[in-house]
Amino acid sequence: MTLDRSGSRIDHLNVAVPDLAVAVAFYEPVLAAIGITKMLEIPANATPNQPTAMTGFGLAAVKPYFWLIDGGTVGTNMHLAFTVDSRDDVATFYRAALGAGATSLLAPAVHPEYHDDYYGAFVQDPHGINLEAVCHRVPG
């Protein structure tokens, strides 16, 4: 029996980075390779409660759900995983990330320690975030 691993209850996530321009230059082509696009840029001080610049990314122009926030410190052991539809998408993400300056952590492969159909690739972004694309589907 195959379990449905497609759902998430996270509406959006803010990730603080030391240099927003560097982060956006990396993430824009990498996320575009898996269908996630830059949707919104909010300048610093746009509202009284939002003193730093922000850039939001999302799928299919619905809403941004992944935000990069300027002027922050990346937390220790930070890991972000993006679900993709196929194992080919995992490889596409991996190549795009390396091409944008990421460091390889684990090339695309099955990781049965998570579950039998877990296929992922791991890289480290320019700010030290462990970034992953994962497909939970059986190929075919």
Instruction: Summarize pLDDT for 48-73 with one digit per residue, the tens.
Output: 888 899 999 998 778 899 999 999 99
Domains, the chain, with CATH or none: 13-135 (3.10.180.10)
pLDDT at position 21, please?
96
Give CA–CA dist 105/119, Å, rounded. 14
Say what the alpha-carbon torsion angle 104, 115, 66, 61 is, to the nearest 10 degrees. Answer: 110
Q: What is the pLDDT of residue 60?
A: 76
Q: State percent of the chain over pLDDT 90.
A: 77
What is the distance between the alpha carbons of residues 121 and 139, in angstroms, rounded to a whole number? Answer: 16
For the CA atoms of 59, 65, 71, 76, the dihedral, rounded to the nearest 10 degrees, stands at -110
**Beta strands 36-42; 54-59: pairing state:** antiparallel
Among residues 62, 3, 1, the alpha carbon closest in space to that of 35 is found at 62
| Interval 94-115: pLDDT, tens | 999 999 999 999 999 999 999 9
